[in-house]
Each structure stands twice: as C-alpha cells, then as structure tokens.
Amino acid sequence: MSEKLTVPKPTLSTIDAGALIVGMVVGVGIFETPTLVAANAQDAGVTIFAWFLGGVMSLIGALCYAELATAYPDAGGTYYYLMRAFGKNLAFLFAWARMAIIQTGSIALLAFVFGDYASQMLPLGEFSSALYASGAIALLTVINLLGLKQGKRAQNWLTVAKILGLLLVIVAGIVLATTQGGNEAMEQSTSLANASSNQTGNFGLAMVFVLLTYGGWNEAAYISAEVREAKRNMVLVLLGSIIIITAIYLLINFAYLHGLGLVAMQVSKAPAAELMRRAWGNSGAVFVSFLIAVSALGTANATIFTGARTNYALGRDFLVLGFLGKWGKRTSSPSKALILQSAIAILLVVYGAIQRKGFSTMVDYTAPVFWFFFLLSAVSLLVLRFREPETQRPFRVPLYPVIPLLFCAICGYMLQSSLAYTGSGARLGIVVLLTGIPVLLLNYRISSSQHHSNIREKKKV
C-alpha cells in the first residue's frame, strides 16, 4: 500500500538560501559574545585571531556538511543524518535535546540579549534583564498561541534593523578610532583595568563563545530539500555564506577594539551601546539599543515559532510525547508544544538570573550538548561513506578522510572545552539530556503495549 506524501519543493535560489543562512547566523549574539571572547583572550591580537579561527573552523565543518546535504537532501537535516547513520534511538535524543536544551536555551539566550539592551533604555532594577527576558518570552508565546504570525514584510524590517545596527556600530568604531585616534577610548579603558585585572585568559572558553556566534550555518541542512539543484548549489550556499559571515564578524570586532579599547570591551555588558554612547552620546546608545532589542525579539519569535513545530513533530512521532503532537485547528498552531517550550525557556531565564550571568549561563547550558551532537554529525559522514558507498555524492569532501577527521577533532576539542571551562549550566544541560533516556525507554514500553493491544483487537474481530 503506497501513500502519497507532501514533500518540500525546491523553490529557493542560491542567493535566497545564502541570505537565509547569513540572516540566521548573524544574529544578536555578535552584540554580546565579543565581550566574553575578549575577556578570555586577554589580548587584542588574540581576540581577532579567535574570530578568524572560528571562520576557518566553520569552513571545515561546512565542507563536511556540503557532502551530507548534497548526498542526502532532506528537510530533517541533522536529524535525518543521525537517523540514517545511528538509528532511531540517537535521533530521538537529538530531537529531545533540541526541545529541552538547544532550542529553549537559545530562546532564553536571545531573551537575555533583549533584556540587556532594553535595560540600557529603561532599567527595572537588579534583575532587569531577567524581567525583560521572561516578559518577552511570555508575550511572544501568547502571540503565537493566538495564531498571529509575523508577516514577511515585518520579518524583513526586523532583519533590516539588525543589519542597520551592525553597520552603525562598525561606523561608530571606525569614526571613533580615526577622529579621536582611539586615545580617549584607551584612556577610559585604562581606568577600568583594575576591574578586570582578576580575569584570567582561557582560549578554549573564548572559542566556545566564538563558535556559538558562528553557530547556525549548519541549519542549511534543513533547507537542502528546498534549494534548486541542491546537489550542486548547496556547496556554494554553505561556503559563500561562511566567508561573508567571517568578514562581518572581523569588522565588528575591529570596530569594538578601536572604539572602546580592549579592557573596556572586556567589562562592558552592552558593548554596542557603549560604543554608540562614546561616538554620538546617549541618544546614539538608546537608538542602537532599541534596534538590537527589536532584532532580538524578531529572532526569538522565529526561534519560538520553529521550535514549537519541531516539538510538535516529536510528539507526532513518539507516543510518550503524544500530547505535544496536537495541532490547533482554530489557531493553526501547536498550542501545547508552545506552552511547554515557553515554560522551559522561562525556567531557564530564572536559572540564569539566579546565577547572575544570564547570557553566559545559557551558553554553558547549551554548548556541551550542541557540540556532542555536532561531533556525531561529523562521525555520521564517515559512517555513511563506509556503509553506503553506492550513494551518489555530487560533492565529495576534499582530502578525505583528513578533513572529516579534522572536523571531528574540532568538535571533540570544543566539547571538551565546553565541559572543562563552563559552569553549572553545562552540568544542568547534561542532566537534562540524560533524562531523555528513561523517556525513550518509556516510549518503547507504551508502543509495545499499544502494539499488543492492537493485535488482541484484531483477533477479536
């Protein structure tokens, strides 16, 4: 018996797909992580090198993903590769991690960015960022529950706001460095030296923050089935977008270093706002803070929207989470999936507020789990090459198996760094991941019970 399935259609051009990837990667993280990278790098040259190295590492990973995406163009992306290489159990744990750690952690992280910059405009006290973050998650979830979706024009304007914010920061840094020679920034930075003198450099942790900011290019795997002539064009999409992203990140960090100086950059909670304040006064800081806050809301809304649909699919495919697989006909949204996702994200915001680190705590929470599954996706390329040699591969990774093994080594190093150099958030993320194992076992028990029940019903008939 055959069943006609609705499948994604290849409608995206190379430029469409490339713009989508750049838009996903160049998010609001670049307004937060440079401070953390500089604090751990402890040197301007090392800071710039870290961002350049992040681009090189991402390019190596993109070569491996280019082979996977062209050989197996599927809307499931990484989930599909893991399923094909390692089976259903590991694929479930990956989906569980996206629901409970990666996606919800990203929502909380984005909400903290909104909170940090909203607090620049109107502070609400000691826990200002967390209050703004929780309110943003709740508001965006309610909007999605009502069935209201952002139109294409509104989303485009949010993207324009983000790009405008980046351009203004870059110009501010260059203007400040040339018209003021960077002297005022350096003098103010020196006055902050005592505040950061107790910090110790840690290049491994710096790279955790760098590659977090580069994260998202691998999401190209999820649109591979919708790109025209994907078997040829996905290579251009992946490699071209990473080159553009690397150039943007180098420019923005150059602007921060020239406009603020290293030490001021290390201790600033909102470096873009601080740079704009020095360049054009408080009005400039308020303006860019508003742009970044709006951009953070737009990105958070998109993450909430897509995350809930991933959770809906998880509930649809696994009986134990069947309550998530309910689609509201009136609202045209997965209501229960949205509510659960919101609850987890707000709990993470509370946890981040208790830890008093907010954004960096969410990095700790998501990083080890993310790099664990990224490592497995790298290994899946080696496994599928060995197990399915007959599969057509329009693009083959050059210098195989050197490049895939190098990618595995990078992921392994980042996994080790995220475990060794991060805090309690990392341990919490691992515990939450492990809770997926008993859930998976319970799913097998429920499925087996239902299977036997169906057999008994058929015998009665």
The answer to whether the beta carbons of residues 67 and 393 sit under 8 Å apart is: yes
**Average pLDDT over every residue of 387-411:** 90
Of the pLDDT bands very low, low, confident and very high (cuts 50, 70, 90), residue 403 is very high
Q: CA-CA distance, 383 to 5, in Å (whole number)?
A: 28
| Residues in contact with 402: Cβ distance below 8 Å, sequence separation at least 6, in sequence order | none
The four Cα atoms 134, 140, 141, 144 give a dihedral, to 10 degrees, of 180
The vertex-17 CA angle with 364 and 212, nearest 5°, equals 10
**Residue-number span of the structural domain to which 213 is assigned:** 14-446
Task: State how many domains the chain has.
Answer: 1
SS3 content of the chain, % helix, strand, coil (to 5): 80, 0, 20
Burial 243-252 (b: 16+ CB within 10 A, else e): ebbbebbebb
For residue 49, count CB atoms less than 10 angstroms from its CB and return exposed for 0-12, middle for 13-18, buried for 19 or more.
Answer: middle
Place of tokens 């429920």: 446
**Average pLDDT over every residue of 364-385:** 92
- Checking if the pLDDT of 239 tops 70, the result is yes
CA dihedral (401, 404, 406, 411) positive or negative = negative
Of the pLDDT bands very low, low, confident and very high (cuts 50, 70, 90), residue 182 is very low
Can you read off the two tokens belonging to residue 295? 């951009």
pLDDT at 56: 92
pLDDT at 203: 85
Q: Work out the number of other CB atoms within 10 angstroms of the CB of residue 352.
A: 27
Examine residue 452 and state whether it is found in any structural domain, yes or no.
Answer: no
pLDDT at 353: 86
Output 240 or 3, whichever has higher pLDDT.
Answer: 240
Q: Work out the number of other CB atoms within 10 angstroms of the CB of residue 396.
A: 12
Measured CA to CA in angstroms, residue 13 lies from 18, 20, 148, 224, 239 at distances of 8, 11, 28, 11, 15
| Residues in contact with 417: Cβ distance below 8 Å, sequence separation at least 6, in sequence order | 204, 205, 207, 208
CA dihedral (64, 69, 75, 80) positive or negative = negative
Examine residue 460 and state whether it is found in any structural domain, yes or no.
Answer: no
Average pLDDT of every residue of the chain: 79
Examine residue 461 and state whether it is found in any structural domain, yes or no.
Answer: no
Provide φ and ψ at 270, rounded to 5°: -140, 80
Model confidence over 94-133: pLDDT tens digits? 989 988 998 899 889 889 888 888 887 888 888 888 999 9
The answer to whether the beta carbons of residues 130 and 115 sit under 8 Å apart is: yes
- Checking if the pLDDT of 151 tops 50, the result is no
Examine residue 8 and state whether it is found in any structural domain, yes or no.
Answer: no
Strongest mean pLDDT among 50-54, 169-173, 267-271: 50-54
Of the pLDDT bands very low, low, confident and very high (cuts 50, 70, 90), residue 159 is low
Q: CA-CA distance, 259 to 448, in Å (whole number)?
A: 63
Model confidence over 47-62: pLDDT tens digits? 999 999 999 998 898 8
Rg (CA), the chain: 23
pLDDT at 319: 81
Can you read off the two tokens belonging to residue 435? 């809770």
Measured CA to CA in angstroms, residue 323 lies from 69, 181, 320, 436, 440 at distances of 32, 61, 8, 16, 15
**Average pLDDT over every residue of 442-456:** 75
Examine residue 374 and state whether it is found in any structural domain, yes or no.
Answer: yes
Classify 151 as helix, strand or coil. coil
Strongest mean pLDDT among 240-254, 306-320, 373-387: 373-387
| Residues in contact with 304: Cβ distance below 8 Å, sequence separation at least 6, in sequence order | 107, 137, 140, 141, 144, 338, 341, 342, 345
pLDDT at 334: 78
CATH code assigned at 258 = 1.20.1740.10
Of the pLDDT bands very low, low, confident and very high (cuts 50, 70, 90), residue 4 is very low
Examine residue 39 and state whether it is found in any structural domain, yes or no.
Answer: yes
**Average pLDDT over every residue of 337-360:** 86
Measured CA to CA in angstroms, residue 407 lies from 18, 49, 231, 245, 382 at distances of 22, 19, 21, 19, 11
**Average pLDDT over every residue of 179-185:** 45
**Average pLDDT over every residue of 332-349:** 86
The vertex-137 CA angle with 17 and 162, nearest 5°, equals 40
Model confidence over 313-338: pLDDT tens digits? 777 778 888 888 777 666 667 788 88
Output 125 or 403, whichever has higher pLDDT.
Answer: 403
The answer to whether the beta carbons of residues 231 and 13 sit under 8 Å apart is: no
Examine residue 458 and state whether it is found in any structural domain, yes or no.
Answer: no
Of the pLDDT bands very low, low, confident and very high (cuts 50, 70, 90), residue 187 is very low
Q: CA-CA distance, 309 to 324, in Å (whole number)?
A: 9
Examine residue 453 and state whether it is found in any structural domain, yes or no.
Answer: no
**pTM (2 decimals)?**
0.76
Q: CA-CA distance, 185 to 25, in Å (whole number)?
A: 29
Which run of H or of E encompasses 218?
none
